[in-house]
């Protein structure tokens, strides 16, 4: 609280009463050129391996900000330091008029300045999409110094290193407070579409940049979300980052229209139709039966559902969503597959199954109208393709938004696929109470087909899967400040932090925490989002965490193993009744309690985890280096 008792926290002091109004003509036209809203920057839509093929060069419009060479902006700093060669590469100045007037440098593999531009553009785009969906500003996880202390008082930007190391890998690392992108030579024996031995840059893959940025965003949102406490955690993070990258594919109009025309509207087809064939997948299946083949005859993989193709081909690894969608769903995989990417692709396939089902439901009337004239050709006219593209991209936008918002409805620790399903269903119902397109049904069916169940939900139905909503007014939180969409001021943050800690301690028993151990409040974020009916929904998402140091087992870096329980609160802003504001109230309390079986499972899983590491501050996280060596 401020020292001045007459000013409420967060309120600016009024101007002195005796100051004269300035001489100002607000009706005269302003000569000042308004600050631009967007900065266009060029980037590869996929990666350099697709060359200049239709739709591979795209222009990304990101929020305008003034940039220093690097680029260094408000949220990201691209510092092109090569740790293998121990040198810096000349930083690009995106505010150079020569670059501004071209809408960014043209794509080039040989100029590191284009690499810096692309990394900055795609990371910024990803962050903006998340902030729009979440309805708030995302903060990065605090950087820590060598002793595990938080570094404060500095400008907090995520560091992006486009050529950090010579390794077929790219990963988000809390240690460097940023993302390390590697480069490597393509395989000499199995290079895919690359030249044997050519250098492949992970920073030029749109998918990889979006994927890694998503990891950083999620790590900033939740304090202990990345502790690999069960078999689903690492897989969930991989799947979620893949989902964020994949849904971006459907926002890109040119490729979308091209793909729609080459698949006859079936966006999920594994292959594109060639110039000479009618149905793309039959063509792929027939391969080998025909005689001579020319380049134009080779069925090309559908780029929309492929991830990081160049990387996969160059390092000799293939797979992900393509293979997940290419095999019939079965409920056995969930019981045996534990490798994080393979397990994650089950979740990705489930979400995309639902997405394509909803898209088809929306596209079918259009296709019916088209076919009603007796046409049954798969060659779609451009106008129809445009309409279908609009549906596909609108549906993708909606799915991405629901996935992002579902993050706020997940328990703060120990996430499982089942929890994410419940979060998805609850988030979707909260924002789109009328499920006219059957989104929730499609999601439930797709998850059920793949054996993903919610542990403690009694039935596989919407009502049962939604987290139980607490009756308004039952659990009030007096005096919580929601601020405004620009965020909370330091005083308001302190006020809320103190208030929530005291509130949690008082309600520990109701929330399912154990008595006598401190309850942390690692984060609380006010959210401002527009609901289906157009009203503004103001809520706050709060994480509560209790850590029990386990005397029975070693932590990974020595010291006791931290066993955590946690509750995510969604707190609604009160309405006004009569002459006063009601109290804020808890709408959802989404808990992971610490009972004996869970305690034992945590111990076993953490101790056996090959992908966990513990940082100087004692937090255990997924070591993405170990996971992404294959991604």
Partner 1 sequence: MATRTTESTDSTATAAAGIRIRMYRVGFGDFFLMSVPAADGTMAHILVDCGVHAHDLGVIGGAVEQMKADTGGKLALVIMTHRHADHISGFASASDVFQTFAVERVWMSWFEDPKDKQALKIQAGIAATAAHLQAALALRAAPGDDEYLRMAGNALGVSKGGGNAGALVMLHGFKTAEGGPTPVDYYAAGDTPTLPASLAAAGLEADILGPPRDLNLVAQMDNAAHQYLTSGAANDDGPAELFSPAYAVRSFPWPKDDQPIFTPQEIENRVIASQPDALAAAAQKADNALNNQSVVVLFTFRDKTLLFSGDAQWGNWANFLFGGAIGTPGHTDLTDRSRQVLGNLDFYKVGHHGSTNATPMDVVKAMKAGCVAMCSTDPGAYGNPLKGTEVPRTPLLAALTAKTGNQLARSDQVPVGSVPATAGLAAVAAPFKSETPGTIDYWI
Restricting to residues 215-274, name those near partner 1 by CB under 8 A.
230-232
Number of residues that bind partner 1 (CB under 8 A): 87
DSSP 543: E
Q: Give the separation between CA 440 and CA 424, rounded to whole angstroms.
A: 8
Q: Give the separation between CA 92 and CA 214, rounded to whole angstroms.
A: 24
Least Cβ distance, residue 478 to partner 1 (angstroms): 37
> Looking at beta carbons only, is 190 or 435 nearer to partner 1?
190
Least Cβ distance, residue 274 to partner 1 (angstroms): 30
Least Cβ distance, residue 608 to partner 1 (angstroms): 5
> Looking at beta carbons only, is 195 or 505 nearer to partner 1?
195
When binding is defined by CB under 8 A, the residue of 136, 161, 322, 405 that contacts partner 1 is 161
Q: Give the separation between CA 413 and CA 594, rounded to whole angstroms.
A: 11
Least Cβ distance, residue 445 to partner 1 (angstroms): 19
Least Cβ distance, residue 615 to partner 1 (angstroms): 12
Q: Give the separation between CA 404 and CA 424, rounded to whole angstroms.
A: 9
Q: Which residues contact 525 (CB under 8 A, 6 or more apart)?
A: 134, 136, 221, 540, 541, 542
> Looking at beta carbons only, is 111 or 386 nearer to partner 1?
111
Binding residues for partner 1 restricted to 559-618, rule: CB under 8 A:
597, 600-601, 603-605, 607-608, 610
If binding is defined by CB under 8 A, does position 456 make contact with partner 1?
A: no
If binding is defined by CB under 8 A, does position 307 make contact with partner 1?
A: no
DSSP 135: T
Burial call 475-501: b when 16+ CB within 10 Å, e when fewer = bbbeebbbbeeeebbebbbebbeebbe
> Looking at beta carbons only, is 334 or 360 nearer to partner 1?
334
Using omega within 30 degrees of 0 as the cis cutoff, is the peptide bond preceding 71 cis?
yes
**Cα-based distances in Å from 268 to 322, 437, 502:** 9, 19, 51
If binding is defined by CB under 8 A, does position 85 make contact with partner 1?
A: yes
- Give the range of 78-86, 94-102, 470-478, 506-514 binding partner 1 by CB under 8 A: 78-86
Binding residues for partner 1 restricted to 313-372, rule: CB under 8 A:
314-317, 334-339
Binding residues for partner 1 restricted to 164-193, rule: CB under 8 A:
164-169, 173, 175-177, 180, 182-188, 190
Q: Give the separation between CA 586 and CA 541, rounded to whole angstroms.
A: 10
What would the x/- binding string for partner 1 be over residues 118 to 137, using CB under 8 A? --------------------
Least Cβ distance, residue 188 to partner 1 (angstroms): 8
Helix (H) or strand (E) holding 553: strand 536-554
If binding is defined by CB under 8 A, does position 151 make contact with partner 1?
A: yes
When binding is defined by CB under 8 A, the residue of 40, 53, 63, 82 that contacts partner 1 is 82
Judge whether 13 and 33 are in contact, CB under 8 Å.
no
Binding residues for partner 1 restricted to 44-73, rule: CB under 8 A:
68-70, 72
Q: Give the separation between CA 438 and CA 206, rounded to whole angstroms.
A: 31
Closest of 377, 390, 462 to residue 427, by C-alpha: 462
- Give the range of 2-10, 161-169, 358-366, 381-389 binding partner 1 by CB under 8 A: 161-169
């Amino acid at each position: 609280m401020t020292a001045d008792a007459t000013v409420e926290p967060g309120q600016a002091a009024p101007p002195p009463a005796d100051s004269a109004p300035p001489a100002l003509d607000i009706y005269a036209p302003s000569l000042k050129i308004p600050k631009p809203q967007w900065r266009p920057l060029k980037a590869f839509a996929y990666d350099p391996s697709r060359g200049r093929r239709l739709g591979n060069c795209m222009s990304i419009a990101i929020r305008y900000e003034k940039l220093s060479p690097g680029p260094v902006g408000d949220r990201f700093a691209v510092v092109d330091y090569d740790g293998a060669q121990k040198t810096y590469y000349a930083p690009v100045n995106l505010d150079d008029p020569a670059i501004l007037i071209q809408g960014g440098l043209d794509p080039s593999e040989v100029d590191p300045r284009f690499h810096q531009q692309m990394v900055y553009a795609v990371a910024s785009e990803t962050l903006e999409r998340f902030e729009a969906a979440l309805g708030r500003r995302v903060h990065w996880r605090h950087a820590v110094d060598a002793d595990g202390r938080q570094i404060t008082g500095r400008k907090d930007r995520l560091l992006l290193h486009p050529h950090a190391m010579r390794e077929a890998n790219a990963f988000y690392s809390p240690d460097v407070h940023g993302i390390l992108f590697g480069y490597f030579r393509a395989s000499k024996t199995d290079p895919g579409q690359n030249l044997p031995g050519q250098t492949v840059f992970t920073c030029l893959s749109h998918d990889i940049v979006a994927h890694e940025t998503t990891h950083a965003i999620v790590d900033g949102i939740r304090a202990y979300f990345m502790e690999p406490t069960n078999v689903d955690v690492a897989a969930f993070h991989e799947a979620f980052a893949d989902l964020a990258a994949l849904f971006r594919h459907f926002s890109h109009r040119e490729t979308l229209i091209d793909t729609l025309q080459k698949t006859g509207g079936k966006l999920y087809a594994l292959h594109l139709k060639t110039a000479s064939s009618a149905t793309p997948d039959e063509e792929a299946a027939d391969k080998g039966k025909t005689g001579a083949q020319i380049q134009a005859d080779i069925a090309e993989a559908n780029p929309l559902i492929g991830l990081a193709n160049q990387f996969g081909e160059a390092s000799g690894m293939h797979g992900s969503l393509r293979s997940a969608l290419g095999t019939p769903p079965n409920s056995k995989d969930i019981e045996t597959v534990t490798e994080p990417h393979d397990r994650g692709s089950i979740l990705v396939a489930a979400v995309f199954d639902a997405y394509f089902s909803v898209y088809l439901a929306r596209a079918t009337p259009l296709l019916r109208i088209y076919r009603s004239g007796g046409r049954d050709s798969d060659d779609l006219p451009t106008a129809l393709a445009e309409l279908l593209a609009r549906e596909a991209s609108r549906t993708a936008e909606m799915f991405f938004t629901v996935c992002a918002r579902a993050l706020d409805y997940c328990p703060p620790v120990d996430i499982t696929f089942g929890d994410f399903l419940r979060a998805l269903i609850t988030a979707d119902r909260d924002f789109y109470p009328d499920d006219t397109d059957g989104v929730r049904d499609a999601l439930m069916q797709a998850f059920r087909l793949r054996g993903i169940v919610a542990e403690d939900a009694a039935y596989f139905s919407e009502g049962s899967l939604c987290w139980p909503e607490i009756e308004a007014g039952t659990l009030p939180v007096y005096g919580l400040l929601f601020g405004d969409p620009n965020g909370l001021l330091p005083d308001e943050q302190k006020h809320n932090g103190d208030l929530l800690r005291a509130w949690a301690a008082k309600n520990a028993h109701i929330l399912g925490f154990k008595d006598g151990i401190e309850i942390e409040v690692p984060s609380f974020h006010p959210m401002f989002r527009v609901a289906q009916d157009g009203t503004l929904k103001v809520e706050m998402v709060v994480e509560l965490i209790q850590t029990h140091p386990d005397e029975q087992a070693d932590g990974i870096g020595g010291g006791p193993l931290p066993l955590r329980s946690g509750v995510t609160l969604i707190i609604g802003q009160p309405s006004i009744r009569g002459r006063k504001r009601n109290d804020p109230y808890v709408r959802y309390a989404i808990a992971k309690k610490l009972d004996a079986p869970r305690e034992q499972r945590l111990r076993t899983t953490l101790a056996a985890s090959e992908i966990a590491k513990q940082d100087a501050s004692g937090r255990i996280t997924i070591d993405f280096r170990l996971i992404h060596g294959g991604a």
